[in-house]
Each structure stands twice: as C-alpha cells, then as structure tokens.
Structure 1
C-alpha cells in the first residue's frame, strides 16, 4: 500500500508538471497545489550501501600506485566515515579463480591434487590481493557486513577448463566447490573477519570474456542443495546469496526455482545478521 501511494504521488507530480507546461490549457488556479513525496516515510527496508574490491581493486587503496598513508586515510574516510564521507556499510570481496595475478586477475586459494575432487590443497597468503588489509580497515570503521562472491570456480572444476568465457561447474565437483567456498570464509574468519554473505556465482546467466561461470536455475538449485548443508555442517555462520543475475527480470526464474525446492529454499534462509555498530577508526 505504501509503495502504491508513493507511485501515485510520482505520477501526480508528472501530470501536474505537464499541465503547467501546456500553453493551450491555462491553469485552473494561479498557484496550483504541488504533489510531493515524504522522504521520511519508510517504504522498504535495505541492508545498507557498499562497494566492491574484486579484481584487485583493493591494491590501489593500499598504495600500489603511490597513495601516501595520509591519502589512503582520506580515501577510506570518504568511503566509510559517516562524518567525512559516504558512510558505506557493506564490503564486497572477490573470491578468486585465477592461476596468476596478471593485471586484475584474482588468484584462487586452492590447487588440485591431481584431479581428485575430494583432495584439494588449500593455499592462503593472508593477504588476498590486499582484500584482507582492507577488510580489517573497514571493520575498524564499524562495518560488520562482508559479502564474499565468486565469479568462477577454479578452472579444474569447470566444463570449459578456463575461468573465462562462461563454462559450467562439473557435477562431480559440486562438493569440492562447496568446500572451497567454505574454506575461503574460514580463512577470513582466522583473520578476524566474519563473512556474513557468501555467493557462489555472479551474473550466472551471462557469459563474460573475463572470469565467469553459468548456471541454469535448476543447476543453481542443485548446487545450493550441496552448499547449504556444507555451510551449516562445517562453515561459519554465513548467509548464502543467489544468483546476481544480469537484471531483475532474469533473476525471477532463479528465485522461483529456489523457492519451489524446500532444500534449496532452506539453504538461502538468513542467519541472524548482527545489527551494525558505528565507531571511529583508531
């Protein structure tokens, strides 16, 4: 009802403006009443606003291109401070799948032993392309919402054998990929950062020339039925996210498929997310 009221107010404003601009139709009153929108009215709850540092975007913030300590603090204040900047409250991290760090590639945190899905070798540098450093800085501003998202699974888990140009997750590697995502969250947990939101795919209906991986709605359901129990059995308390389709109209098919399956639907039910507290950085 509130949404309908807001839309009606917008339409009234448009109609009033059109009538005032029509010279063939003189106004009925020299000072016609204006329609307005009350921005104090709550129409829809939001989780907050944030920014992404996937594809090595945290490196320049850390000074890879010459930012001084004072300039780094100024940038962080502009992004995160409620007094000096935007006061953003969510950080999106990129879960890597690359075998190198060339240009903006995000390196993966495991490698196969050889081609055995149940025996990956996990590697962790405690740095993750400056994302660990930035996550700690962001946390110092009081941010408690950390969204880790993957654009692709590691190449040895995919039909295409490449992290680029789409490809699909091999069915026999579903459990290994679920373990991989959970381990990523665990790595951050040992660094003092709780991943509150975990995504296994980005723009799952679109093939990009860079890191990307496709899922049909049914494939997303099938994977959630593996990932959900894996997270709850052995991983940190994190909410699962699906599926960041390339447009709200395309997302509908994924949402409907997940909601129609009790096991997949249970996988994406929210864990209680802590209420953010704001504090000044040290």
Structure 2
C-alpha cells in the first residue's frame, strides 16, 4: 500500500487555523531534485518528552478573574488531548517571580530553621490551577519548579529584585528550602518532577533575580543542592542547570558538567530563547555531554500583548524547530495566560502569551503562537523520536518525528512566496506547496 499524507495548515491570510487540507497519496516517481526533502525514518535521534507552559501566579490570578466557563475552556485548550494542545509538562516558580502579584517568600525574615515555612499563598491561585489542569490532562504533569531569588535576608543586596547573590553562609539553608517546597507541594497533590538551580542566573533584573557564576552554580549543586535532595530521599527529583539563554549555554554547561561530582546530580540543561537563536549551541552541549538532556524552559513574546500578530507564531515555530533539530527533548512555554495588559507583573514587565484573557470584558483571545505550538504538540506526542531530514530547500524550516506507524513533519515558511517541496521516503514521493507565511503539519501513514 502506498503511503498517505494528511495535511493540516495555518497561514497568515486565512482566518481558520489547523485547517484540514485533505490527503495526498505517495507515488513511485522520479523526484524533483531542486525541491527535495528526504525523510529517513531509520536514522533516529532524541526521544520527545512533551510540551507545556508555566503556571505563574499571574496566569492563575488572571484565570480566576474570568467566568468559570471561560476558565474551563482555556484549560481544555491547553490540556485536553483531543481538542487542545495536549500539554503534559509545566513550570512553576518557587515563591515569587516577576509574573507574581508582588515579591513574596514562604518564610519569616531570618528564619534559618525554616520553622515558619508555608506555601499557603499558593493555595489561593496556583495550586488549584495545577490541580484542575491535571484533571483535564487526566494524568500527573511533569512539573519543573524554578526559583527567581532566595529570600532577601539570604542575599548580598538584601532584596529579591536587582540581582545580588546568595550569601555563602545560607547555601545549606537555601538547599533545605527546595526540599521543604517539594515536600509541601507534593502534600498538596502537585508532583514536582525537578528543579532548576536558578532562573536566568546571569541576568540582573529589576524583578526577582539572583546571580550565580558557572562555578558558583556548579559548587551549589555539588556541595549543597544535590546532596541535600539525596539526604531527604528526593534523589528522584531532577536538577536542571543554566535555565537561561543559548548564547553562553556551552560555556555554562561545560563548567558544571566537566566536574563529575557535580554532573552526577544533574539531569540536564535548560535554555531560553531570548537574545540568541544559536540553535547549534544545543548540539555542542549534546555532543560534549551526550548522557545529559536538553529542555526548553522559557520563552515568550516581550513588550505586551500582540493580539492578531502572525510573526509571534512564526517565532514560536522557528524556535521549536531550531531547538528540536539540535537535540531538544521538551518545550515549556512561559505564562499559559496573561490578562489584557500582558500582566499582571509586579514591575511592569508586560509580555504576550498564547492565550490572552480580557478580565474586563470576560473574553478569551487565541494568538497565532497558540496555533503554532499546536502544529507540534497535537501531533508529536511523548515518546516520539526525531528522524533525519535532508533538505535542499533553503527558505523553509523543517523537523520530523516518528511514532508508532506514522511520521510527523512540521514545516514553517516565513517568506512571502509559496514554496514547492517534494517529500521522499525510500522510493516513494509526494509533492506539496507550502503557502507563504504558513505553518503546516504533515502526518504520513
């Protein structure tokens, strides 16, 4: 039986997204060598672990401000495997981040014993959101928890914002804090899969932030965080380092992972998309440390809400394809939802999100980024394996995975022209036209 190919398309000029464009049957015929995309299912790379987004206080608060019916619609749109994106991953913040309503921690000032530790605040918005998301997903989510800053009294600058460093005398207390957080969240029914050491450890931000050199991150993992998790029977919790941009990911990963005592505690390296689209840096990390994993832990469109924009979805698709083709194993978006301002954000660092809720009008808006993610997440499931793609078509971005009896190919065309492609698998081929400014998923059986 010849292969058949289902086509699902979104483009800038059509209102309907994820539009079914029918089926094409592969044929045995000479291939047009000018536009060939060879798919080799026998040459495989990394296994995929899933897609997800961040459960911030801002997202949870915004969803609490709209009607229960619309909140349920948004949860279905992300976590339902049939109608939505089928998210299985998540990220949340250990006490406050910029997308919280204010700076806050879980302990009283100066409480080195952490006797006052309480996550009671998270019960108001964040924990109920995660619990409801897991109900819709019908499975536990794989959740990464990241700190943006230690409490002010543990830091050199005495505040959560504006950088500063963890004071050496509080490294053990801070490691104990992660343990308390994991234990309390899991008592609340929220599984914590892993933690990152520090969100964006090289950026002094006007919001919650803390600076670590690569050596400081290495030593904190090796001497405090890793052993402390182990001591408390939490060695099954994964540790992710870096959790920052791709530009210096190779140097940062190398400093930590070349130390075997630090490396033994580290699951992998997290990356963000800001500043740099040097996707090849992920391959450099993989080639140097093939036993470690690569996870996208944050990306968003900066500068407030961009309702109706198409370029935002293209940025998502370009970054997902670029990272996938360089050994990425999972993708976690930033805020799943923001309000009409691109917040709330306690320092005014407003951004866009794939779904925007208007808390004044009780309305939900789906951005092109939402549909872009869906071109991947609705088709490439946990356990899928990336396969080799050989293309001589310069103007499109392509990635391909196989799972069970199907091959999934996603193509992004950011140009003003339609592009002709000829897919080739062994002796069979099929010709398609990829419209200008489109994202297309091809499902080949």
Give the structure-2-normalised TM-score: 0.49
CA RMSD of aligned residues (A): 2.7
SS in 2 for 1:36: strand
Between the aligned partners of 1:188 and 1:103, the Cα distance in structure 2 is 18
Assess, with a 3 A threshold, how the Cα gap between structure 1 residues 151 and 102 changes in structure 2: closer, same or farther. closer
Between the aligned partners of 1:234 and 1:106, the Cα distance in structure 2 is 28
Is 2:181 the partner of 1:184? yes
1:186-210 per-residue CA deviation (whole Å, 9 max, x = no partner) reads 1111012220011231111111110
Using the TM superposition, give the Cα deviation of residue 45 of structure 1 relative to its aligned residue in structure 2, in angstroms.
2.6
Q: Which of 122, 126, 133 is matched with 1:127 structurally?
A: 122
CA contact (8 A) 2:50 2:382 kept: no
Between the aligned partners of 2:247 and 2:197, the Cα distance in structure 1 is 20
Is 2:165 the partner of 1:165? no
CA contact (8 A) 2:48 2:382 kept: no
The structure carrying a bigger strand percent of its residues is: 2
Q: Which of 106, 111, 116 is matched with 1:109 structurally?
A: 106
Assess, with a 3 A threshold, how the Cα gap between structure 1 residues 75 and 39 changes in structure 2: closer, same or farther. farther
CA contact (8 A) 1:217 1:257 kept: yes
Between the aligned partners of 2:124 and 2:220, the Cα distance in structure 1 is 28
Using the TM superposition, give the Cα deviation of residue 49 of structure 1 relative to its aligned residue in structure 2, in angstroms.
1.1
1:45-94 per-residue CA deviation (whole Å, 9 max, x = no partner) reads 33211111235321112x2x2x2221111000111112111111111111
More RCO (CA 8 Å, sep 6+):
2
Q: Which of 245, 248, 251 is matched with 2:249 structurally?
A: 251
SS in 2 for 1:249: coil
Structure 1 residue ranges, 4+ long, deviating more than 6 angstroms after superposition: none
CA contact (8 A) 1:55 1:105 kept: no
1:55-134 equivalences in 2 (<5 Å): 55-61=57-63, 63=64, 65=65, 67-97=66-96, 104-105=101-102, 107-112=104-109, 115=110, 117-118=112-113, 120-125=115-120, 127-134=122-129
In structure 2, runs of 5+ residues without a counterpart are: 1-31, 269-380, 384-445
In structure 1, runs of 5+ residues without a counterpart are: 1-30, 278-282
CA contact (8 A) 2:58 2:99 kept: no
Assess, with a 3 A threshold, how the Cα gap between structure 1 residues 106 and 131 changes in structure 2: closer, same or farther. farther
